[in-house]
Structure 1
C-alpha cells in the first residue's frame, strides 16, 4: 500500500514547464491515477469486510459482548440449573448413566446459549432450561445443599456422593475451557484491532496527501485562469495595433496616388512650351519642398511605426515567455516580422538617403538651370524614372506589409483557437477536480464509519474483559463452595457410617 501511495504521489508531482505540457501529461497519467484510486477503494472494501467478519466472529464466540443480552452470571445460573436438574430430578438409583446424560444436556444448553448471537434466542433458551432467573450470588448452591442432605439420608446404602462431584468438576473444567478459549479469541481480536488501526492510519495519511494534491491543482488552475485573462487582454491590444497599422497603410496608399497624380501633371507641364519653363522651375521647386516634407513625414511615420512595433515585440516576447510551446509559432512569426521590418527599415533609410541625394542633386541642377535648359528634359526624364521606381518599390513594400498584417491576423486566429482549447481543458479539469473532491468526501465518510465501528469494538472489548473478570470471580467462588460441599458430604458420610455401625450393634 505504501508503494502504491508513493507511485501515485510521483505521478501527481511530475509536470511540465507550461500549462499545455501539464495538461498533456495529465491526460497520459490519468489511467494510472484512476487505477491507483480504484486499488485504494478495493483495499478499503477488503478492510471493511474483514472488520465485519471479525465483528461477526467476536459476536459468535463471545455473546457477552452484545449489549442487552445474557450476562456471565446468568450463564452460570443456567449451568447451575442443569446441575440441579441432575441432582434433584433424576433418581440416584438410576446410576451414573442417567447423571451423565443430564450433564450432557446441561453442557449442550450452555454451548447453544453461548454460540447464539441474538438476545431473543438467548432469552428463550434461558427460560427453557431455567425455571427462575439466577441472581448470581450463590443462593442456588444454598438451596441445593438441604436437598442433597435429604437425598443422602434417604439413600444411606448407595454411594451417590461422587455423582454431584463428577458433575461439578465436569462443569468447572468445561467453564475453564470456555474461558481459555475466550481469552485466546480476545487476544486474537486485540491483534486484529491493532492491525486495523495501523491500516486506518495509513489510509488517513494517504487521504490527507490526496487532499493536499487536489488543493494544489485547484490553485494552479486559478493561476492559469488569471494568465488566460491576461493573454486575452494582450490579444485585444494586438488587434487594435493591427487595425491602426492597416489604417496607416491605407493613408500611405492615398499619398502615393496623390504623388502619382502630381507627377502626371508635372509631366504634362514639361511637355508644354518653353515659356512655361520658368513657371515649371518654381513649381518643381515647390514640388521638391513638398517631397521633402513628405519624406520627413514618412521618416517620422517610420520612426513611430518602429517604436510601436518594438513595443508590440516586447509585449509579444513577454507573452511568448509565459506560454512556452503554445506561442512558439507566434514567436517565430514575430521574429520573422522583426527581421523583415529591420530589412524594410534599412531599405527605407537607403531610399531616404537616395532621395536626399537626389534632392541635393536637383537643387544643384536648378542652380544651373538657366545654363542647362536643354539638359532639363533629360534630367527630368531621369528623375521621373527614379521616382517611378521608388513608387513601385513603395508599392512592393506596402504589399509586403499587407502580407505581414495577414500573417498577424492568422496568428491572432490561431491564438483565439488556442484560447478556446485552453478554456475547454480548464472546464474539463474543473469537472475532474469536483469529481475527485466528491470521492475524497465519500472516503472521509467511510473512514468515519470505520472509526465508529472500531470505537464500538473497543467498547465491546472492555465489556468482554469485565465479563471475563466476573466469570473468574464466580469460578473461584464456585470452587470454594464445591470444596465446602465436599467437606459437608464427607461429614454426612461419616455420620451415616456411624449411625449404620450403631444400628448394626446389638
Structure 2
C-alpha cells in the first residue's frame, strides 16, 4: 500500500517537471529560431551564387583536361601502340600516373555537396515557418560557405597537379624511350659483333682448308660435307647481318620520326598550357567582376530581405502569443488532471483496503482448503486399506468356494461309484432269483 502511494507521487512530480521543461524549451526555441532565420536570409543567396560559379569553373576545367588527354592519345604513333602488347610498354599510360588526376578530380567534384541544390531558384522565405526545414537550410548554407574557401584552393591544386603530372609523364616517357632504343642498339651491336667474329673464324677455317695439300679421294670425301655446311652457315650469317642492319636502319628512322613527333607534341602541350593559364586568368577576372556585381545586388536587395525578415518575426511573435495561450490552457488542464489524480488516489486507497480484506479472506479459504485436502487424503488412505482387506476376503472366499467345488466333485465320484456297485449287486440278485422262482413254479405246478 505504501509503495504504491510513493510511486504515484513520483509519477506526478515527473509529469510536472516534464511540463516545465517543455515550456522552457518552447520559449528558448522561439528566440533561437528568429536568430537562425535572420542569418539564413543574409547568407543564402550569396553563397548559392558563389557555389554555382565555382561549379561551372570546375566543369570547364574538367572538360579542358579531358580534351588534352584525348589529344595526347591521338598524337601517339601507331607503331608504338602495336608495341604495347610486347615487352616494351612504356608508351602505355601508367594507371597510377595518368588515371590519378581523373580520380582526384572526380573525388574533388564529389566532395562538393548538393549540386542539384542550384536548380532551386524559386525558393521563397515562406518555408521558414517550419523549424526543421530552416535548420537544414542553415546547415547547407554554412557548408556552402566552407566550400567557397575550399574551391579556390582546389583550383590552384588542380592546376599545379595537372602540370606536375604532365611533366612527369613526358619525362618518364622520353627517358624510357631513349633507354629502350639504346638497349636495342646495344643488343644489335653485340649480335653484329658476334656474327662478324663467327664469320672471321669461318673464313680462317676456309682459307686453312684451301691452303692444305690435296688429299686422297677418301679424305676429300670426308672434308666435303663440313665445307658444304660451312658454306651454308656463311650464307645464313650474311642474311642475319643484312636483316639486323635493316632493323637498325628502320629503328633509326623510327627514332627520328618519334623525336620529331615528340617535339611537335611538346609544342602543342606548351600551347595548351598557355591557353589554360590564360583561361584561368580570365576566369579569375570574371570572378572579381561577378563578386563586385553580387555585392551591389546584395546591397540593393538587403532592405527587401530585412523587410521580409521583420514580417516573419512578426508572424513568429503572433505564433508565440498563441503558444502562450495554449500553455495557459495546458496549465488549467494540468490542474484538472491533478485534482482528478487526487480523486483517483483516494479511490485506489479504498480499493487497496478492499483488496487487503479480500486477501485475508483468501488466506483463510486457503487454510480451510488445506485442511479439507488433508482429511480427503486420510479418507483416501483408509479407502485404500479397506480395498486391500476386501481383496483379501475375496481371495479367501474364492479359495473356500474352490474347496467346496472339489468336495462336491469328490461326492459325485463316490455316488457314481456306489451307484455302479448297487447296479452290479442288483444284477447279481436278479440272476440268483431266476432259478429259485423257476423251482417254485415247478413246485406249484406239481
Q: TM-score, normalised by structure 1?
A: 0.31
Q: TM-score, normalised by structure 2?
A: 0.35
